[in-house]
Amino acid sequence: MYEVFSTYKTEISYTVATIFVLLIVQFLLKKAAHRVGKRSEINFTRTKLMFKYINILILLIAVFLLSISWGMGFAELSLIFSSVFAVLGVALFAIWSILSNITSGIILFFSFPYKIGDKIKIHDKDLPIEAIIEDIKAFHLHLRTLEGELITYPNNLILQKAVSLVEKDVYLDEGKSSL
């Protein structure tokens, strides 16, 4: 055991330092996301979704840095990452709508001015919608119309349409409005 430690002392030191620094960065990013969520009165489940995205980012950075610290060269790393990103690019191009909704979900987390419980009107030429926001998910919004109909509205479309606030903090009782 001592031989292994003495042989790989530098790599082990880099590994411990990398993990320690990334844990601190992860903590700071989660704290910042939590602060933004609290200040903007964002539902905690949406904040937890941002925590998942932060975890994925930190994991990718950790794999990259630990690979370098254990002696993998930039040529090998660039080959691996370019291959992985090429496959992911083809796969994500095939499902670009899902990627678009995830990206829109992140944008909505930081800049959507409406909250759960607000009554909004979506100004769509073909299908205007007036409903109460029940939930904001990673891919879509759950909207409840005045008739009690549940509408699942994609996040990427909510960013493309004009939306106006009709009433703030409408009381929701088991999915039905008090209107």
- The packing angle between helices 74-94 and 44-69, to 10°, is 150
Give the per-residue pLDDT at 178.
Answer: 43
Within 8 A by CB and 6+ apart from 89, the residues are none
Give the per-residue pLDDT at 9.
Answer: 86
Dig out the tokens for 92 from the structure: 């994500």
- Give the DSSP letter of residue 155: H
pLDDT, mean of each 10-residue run, the chain (179 residues): 80 91 94 86 80 90 87 80 80 74 82 85 89 87 92 89 84 47
Global pTM value? 0.53
Give the per-residue pLDDT at 174.
Answer: 45
Give the per-residue pLDDT at 179.
Answer: 42
Over its C-alpha atoms, the chain yields an Rg (Å, rounded) of 22
